[in-house]
Amino acid sequence: MIRKAIWLLLTVGVATSAAAQVNKCKGPNGKVIYSDAACAMPEDMQRVKTNQNTVDGSGDRRNAEEVRAKSAMDALMNNPPAQCKFGAFKYNDQKGKALANDAQQECLRNVLAEQSGSPTSDRAYRLWNDHHTLTSNKRNAAVSAAISASRRPAGMSCKPNPMGTGLDCQPN
């Protein structure tokens, strides 16, 4: 039992000291070689100082990055670029307003992502664009129908033509 404990301590001690040493040597062809082993020509060997590699367990780096990202996003939200402005209809279009907001948030994230070389997304934009196009078409059709109805000749009954471009009217 004692032998195993001594052997374990020696093994850990050797591994720790070997991992902490880095030697800079010149190879046979003159190339520089970094190794944890001793050089073939001891006169060419130089010890390289290395700092202990540590992991930030406190989360300070992550927190600092989150603060920087939030500050950048806040700055963009206060003054959004022109390509990040999306509209919605004022009346009865709560879904459009929510989709426009999502598309703007996505656009602002994309601006930041492009600056850092990260991938971008267009999912929220496509959802907003599909909704906006559909709603625009419905509203335009309703306006056209209202204008056509106001031009209906007296004594005629009219219905929209199959193409939806006008009215087919017939006498009552």
With cut-offs at 50, 70 and 90, classify the pLDDT of residue 27: confident
> So what's the pLDDT on residue 54?
61
Q: Each residue of 100-136: pLDDT tens digit?
A: 999 999 999 999 999 888 899 999 999 999 999 998 8
> So what's the pLDDT on residue 18?
44
> So what's the pLDDT on residue 21?
77
- Cβ contact 103:95 at 8 Å: no
Averaged pLDDT, 136-153: 77
- Cβ contact 25:33 at 8 Å: yes
How far apart CA 61 and CA 70 sit, in angstroms, is 14
Q: Each residue of 37-81: pLDDT tens digit?
A: 877 777 777 887 776 656 666 778 788 888 988 888 888 889 889
In this predicted structure, the answer to whether residue 30 has a pLDDT above a threshold of 90 is: no
Q: Where are the beta strands (DSSP E) in the chain?
A: 22-26, 32-35, 46-48, 156-160, 167-171
Helices (H) and strands (E) in the chain — how many of each? Answer: 4, 5
Find the angle CA(30)-CA(33)-CA(37) to the nearest 5 degrees: 130
In this predicted structure, the answer to whether residue 138 has a pLDDT above a threshold of 70 is: yes
